[in-house]
Every structure is written in C-alpha cells, then in structure tokens.
Amino acid sequence: MTRRFIIIACALILIAAVVGGTIGRSRRFRHSVPASGATSYTEADDIEKDYNEAVSAISMSYAGDIDYEKATQAAIQGMLSTLDPHSMYFPYNEFKKLKEDQDSRFYGIGVTIVQHRDGVYIQSAVEGTPAGRLGLRYGDRILEVDGKDARDWSSEQVSKKVRGGKGEPVTIKVDRAGSEAPLNFTIIRDSVPLPSIRNAYMLRPGTGYVGLTGGFQSTSDEELRDALDKLKSQGMRQVILDMRGNPGGLLNQAIDVASEFLPRGQVVVSVKGRTEYSDPIVYKSSGSDPEDVPLVILINRGTASASEIVAGAIQDHGRGLIVGETSFGKGLVQHVFQLPFNTGLTLTTARYYTPYGRSLQRDYSSGSLYDYYTRHDTDETKPAPSGSPTTRNIDSPLAQASPTPHPQSGPAVKTAAGRVFYGGGGITPDIDVKPLAFSPLRNRIAEAAFQFTRQLAAGLVPGLESYKVEKVQYGRNAKPGDYPITDRVVEAFRSFVRTDTASQLTPAQLDEDLDFAKLRLREEIITAAFSNDAGARILLDSDPQVLRALEALPDAKRLAESVRDETSRG
C-alpha cells in the first residue's frame, strides 16, 4: 500500500460521494460563504487539493511509521459516515464476502455455527457440503482452525477462518461428546449454497409456510417459485411468507418476489434520486400469472430494505396482511462501487418509496449510529398525528386496517381499500404481535438445554441411550413420536442442571418455565437428528407471531377480495 493508493481510492470516493453520486455525471459545487466569513469548497478540485496537501504533509513529516492501508480505510469510511448510516467502505475480505452473498453461495466447509458459553459449536452441517460428507455434527466444539487455538474465538472469527478459496484445505480440531480425544478433520473447501429460503413446508393442512429469511440474492425469486409450486402440489390453499430478520439485498429480486403475488403492471416500488437530476424510476410487477391464495407476511425489526419493499407493496395494494413488529426502516438505495485492489464501497444514490408514496427510511438525523441500529421505536408513547387512529382493531383488520402511526411518521398516505398509512418509519404491521419473549432465566434454560442435548444425542445419558443420533437424517420433518420429551427426559435434564454449575440454573428455576424448557429440548434434539431446518420448525409451531398469522389468513383473504372488487368496479 502506498500514498498513490490512498489518492486513487479517495479520488474515486470523492467522485461518487461528492461530485455527483451517479456514474457518468459530474457536478460543480455551488459557492457559499459560511457565517464565519470563510469561503467553503466551490469545486471538487478544491477538495482534492486539500486532501493531497494533507497526505503529503503526513508522508513527509509524521514522526512514526504510517500504515497506509489503515489510513486509507479510515479516510474513506470517515467521509462516508458523514453521509448516512448505509454508505460503507469494505476492505478486501469484506468486499469479497459481499459479492459472495449476492451470488447466493460462497466457498467454505458448510456448517451452521453458534456461540455458547465456552466457545463456538457446530449446530448443524449442511447436507451435501464438505463438512456434511465428513461427518461433522451437532455439538462438536471447535478447538482449533489450521493449528490456531479457537477456544476463545467468536463465531464471526471462526466463520472467517473456515471460508477460503475453492479446493483449499482447512484443518479443524473438535471436541466431540463421547470421544476420548479431540478429532481432527482436514476439509477441502467447496461451494456452499446460501439460499434465501431456509424453510418451506406445510404448516397446517392447506396452509403453507415459506421462510424467506436469508436475504435477497440472485436466486431468491427462483427459490420462491420452486417453494410455492412444491407446496401447491401438497395442497396449499393459503400461505404465510416469513421475512423476519431478512436484511434485504438485490432490488430486482424484491420486484420479482412481489410480482409472484401482484397482478401484472401494479407498481412495486419507486426510486427517487437527486430531484434536480432525475425523475423517479417506477418498477412494476411483471407477474404474468400471480398467486391468488390468501397471504400473510411476517416482519420484525430485522426486516429491512428489499424485504420492506415487498411488504410495503403487498400492504399498499391490500394484497395481504402484515403481522409482527415494525420493520427496520431502511429506504436508502445503495450502489456498489469497486475500488482499486478489490476493495469497495456501497454508496447511497436514491430512496425507496412504496407504491402509494410512503418513504421507507427511518430518520437518522439525530442520535448515534448505535442508536440508529439498535434503538428504533423506543419512543412509542409519543402522541399520534392529529386526526389519526390511535389504536388498532386487531380482531377485525378490515374494519380498521390502518396501523398506529410511527412516532417519526411522515404524512398520511391513503392506499387501497381506503386504508391510511404513514411513511418515514419502516413498515408498521396491520397486526402487531410481539415475538416469543426471552429473559435471563430463559437464556440460561436454553444454554443448559444445548449442553444437555449434546450429551443426550451422543448416547451418554443413562436410560436414554435410544436418543443417540448415529447419523443426521436430512430432509425429514419431525413426527410427534420422534425423540419425544417425556417425563424421563425432563427428569434427566433436572439431574443435569443440578450438576451443571456453569448454567447457574436450579431445578426449581427450571420448573418455573417448564414448558419453555421442553420446547428448547425438543428443538435441540430434532436439530441434532434432522438438521437445523427441522429444528427451526419446532420453534415455529409455538411461535406467537406465526400463530397469529394463521388466525389472520381469513381476514387477509377478505381484504384481497374487497380490493379486487373495488378495482373491478372502478
């Protein structure tokens, strides 16, 4: 890394962030005089001159050694941080991961890992991947990666180390319950699928569930189409689309996903850049034969960007109901720019708006970046705008289907069926439902349940040897008779808790929330036996947001029919 690299990289970011923000256009700065009397920058060349002088002074006169790479990253990110929370710089490894995620695959070993109290463990190996073929399994604790002690690493650190180039080996040492000595695996990295849809199955007779939780990558719509076709062949007549925790991704995939449910030609989203340069770009549904089944979409505070586009389009057009919590509120459009040496940046170039004109973006003008990412909707006690409804009619969404305005709401927007929504704060659900609540006690129960199940699945619990998992059975749905949580299992768990001092849990505390303990034990053993996806379904069956979504499906049907009738009369 040299001074030349700093100048090239920062020149590119200046061109993108300051000169115009759009490839192929340039812009000179307006002359302005601040109150202090000092003349501000009038041209991009002025900024470049100042920057070059600063770099020259540092290079020639700084007393210590200069890490040019670190200085470059700090300079670029410093400029981007003055713009908005989503314009970001990506060093080489992070930029590479960004491109891999958009391609829906990466090169690694193929495991889901999770952080526990004493290290990082394998939760599940992905079927058909190098780790799955070699037999890495639930409960394996990662001790070393390529000879380096990994016992104190975070899950993110482990993930970075096991990723690499296709065909490159990585050696992993694990501690496995029931094995006298650690086990060593030399794994040849290969392509690992990174699907958008992590789960799709019949939740109830006639009711399909599709978990579109893995972002919007290049294959998202194709995955959704395949999932819907599969579920229809199994008798699906209505569907719940789960986008909780979906961080977004590719705009074209969000449009295609929305097109699976909206009639051809309906607006999905509009994109507005700098008004003095461009007119809004309107994207419409391209669906030639959209699904007409009743639809409920699940969202939460982790639902962002492309997933908010889909939810907003469905809500504006009255095509279905939205259940869950207010979404994140990311309505800024980023373009990806590649810089020299394979680094890159994402730069905000426009804003998203729902079909009827609601802005998705939450306010970021005050507070810290930490507040922006972690503390949205904290001031829910503020009064609603004058004349707006102050309560939801949960039991009858058609009677009053306008969500309570967000504290930072924009102007009221009237949408299909006369429903009123407010922009500027993400997507507010038609039916607000809190997720399964966690507490310090439940966290301790969940941790103890994992440590106990690690012994149970290894066949080490006396009297329960039949629960030993010899080999993962991929692609199976758990039946009620598979690994049931009987009184004997519960009693064995109590005995484990008595001796497991690290869990800081007593049998009496366990009995305070025994139903939750049984749920977690069931989820853990099914994960060990049938993979991570099968385990996730156990939790979904008791998920309060999913259960409320099931109840909302008849209202979703009536809403869509009323909008369709109104459209035909118009």
Catalytic residues: 305, 316, 330
CA distances from 382 to 66, 72, 429 (A): 50, 43, 18
- 338 pairs with which residues across the strands? 344
d(Cα 409, Cα 326) in Å, to the nearest integer?
12
Q: CB-based contacts of 134: which residues, under 8 Å, 6+ apart?
A: 185, 187
d(Cα 162, Cα 165) in Å, to the nearest integer?
10
Q: Which contiguous run of DSSP H or E holds residue 347? A: strand 344-353
d(Cα 199, Cα 240) in Å, to the nearest integer?
12
CA distances from 41 to 11, 55, 325 (A): 16, 18, 44
- Check: CB of residue 532 under 8 Å from CB of residue 211: no
Nearest partner of 251 among 207, 282, 291, judged by Cα: 282
- Check: CB of residue 407 under 8 Å from CB of residue 425: yes
Nearest partner of 116 among 454, 383, 425, judged by Cα: 454
**Pairing mode, if any, of strands 105-108 and 238-242?**
unpaired
- 334 pairs with which residues across the strands? 348
HSE-up (13 A, CA, CB side) for residue 432: 14
What six digits make up the tokens of 74? 């700090």
Q: CB-based contacts of 292: which residues, under 8 Å, 6+ apart?
A: 560
